[in-house]
Amino acid sequence: MSQKQLVAVTGASSGIGEATARAFSAAGHPVLMMARRIDRMEAMGLPNTICAQVDVRDRDQINEAVASAEAEYGPVDMMFANAGVARLAKIDRQPPEEWDEMIDINTKGVLNTVKSVMNGMMERRRGTLVIMSSIAGRKVYPDHTVYCGTKYFVHGIAESLREFLSDFDVRVIVLSPGVIETEVLTGVLDEQTLAEYKANKVKIGGGISADICAELILNAYNLPQKALVQEICLTPTRQRY
C-alpha cells in the first residue's frame, strides 16, 4: 500500500509511547498521539500528527480522538495501548488509592483503548493492537503486588483477544519490557521501593532505551498481516529477575 496508514498511541507524551510515535512518524505514518500532557506532545512538532488530550479512563475522550483522527487520515491500522502507571510498594504500606489508580488505568484503560478501534479492524479484516504489559506480567515481585496483578490481567485479556481476533485477521502483540529508561520511576511514591529499584538499576548497568522498544514495535508491525509476533519481551542483558 503506497499510502501509510494511521497509527495511534496512548501515553504518547513520554517514554516508550513518545519513542513509538516518533518511530512511526519517521517511517511516514500519520500519528494520533494521546496523553494527558498535550503540551509535551505538541512540542515534538511531528508532521501529520493529531495531538489529543486524553485520559484513558474516559471512554468518550478516546472515542472522540479516534473519530477525529480517522476523519482526517482514514482508519487506525495500529493502536498502541501504552498508557499506564506504576505505583510500586509493598502492599502492607501502600495506600489503597494507588491500587485504584493502577487498576483503572492499567486494566480498564487498556480495554477502553482497544474497544475504540477493535470493531473497525474486525470489519476491515485488518489491523494491529499493541498492548503494553511488563516483565511484571510474567513474574511477580513482592513490592509490585497490585502492579503485577494489572499486568497479569493485560496478558490474560491479550491472549483471549488474540484468539478471538485471529478469525478476523487482526493481530495482537504484547510488549513486556523489563527495566527501560523512561519516566516510570516518577510514579513510584514509596521512598524505600524507589531506592531499591534505583540501586538494582545501577547494579545491572542501567535500562534499555525506549527507542529500542519502538523499533521492535515498528518491525513487528511491518511484517505481513499474516505474520504475528505474539509478544516482545525485552530486558537488559544483566537483568536476571
What is the enclosing helix (H) or strand (E) of 22? helix 15-26
Please give the pLDDT value at position 4.
Answer: 95
Q: Tell me how crowded residue 39 is: count the other CB atoms within 10 A of its CB.
A: 10
- What is the C-alpha separation between 49 and 77, in angstroms, rounded? 15
- Distance, CA of 113 to chain centre: 10
Rounded to the nearest 5 degrees, what angle is found at the Cα of 38, between the Cα atoms of 36 and 44? 130
Predicted local distance difference test score (pLDDT) of residue 21: 98
Q: Which residues pair with 50 in a beta bridge?
A: 32
Local mean pLDDT, 10-residue blocks, the chain (241 residues):
85 97 98 97 97 98 98 98 93 95 97 98 98 95 95 98 98 96 78 86 92 98 98 94 81
pLDDT the model gives residue 2: 46
79, β-bridge pairs: 8, 129
The grid coordinates of residue 5 equal 496508514
Q: Rounded to an integer, what distance in angstroms lies between the CA atom of residue 206 and that of residue 220?
A: 25
Q: Are strands 49-53 and 231-234 parallel, antiparallel or unpaired?
A: unpaired
pLDDT at 1: 41
- CA 20 – CA 9 distance, rounded (Å): 8
Q: Which of 207, 129, 117, 132 is nearest to 161 (CA)?
A: 129
Predicted confidence at residue 99, as pLDDT, reads 96
Q: Per the residue annotation, which of 147, 152, 221, 241 is the catalytic one?
A: 147
Clarify whether 147 is annotated catalytic: yes
**Domain 6-234, classified CATH 3.30.360.10, yes or no:** no
| CA pseudo-torsion sign 174, 101, 50, 165 | positive
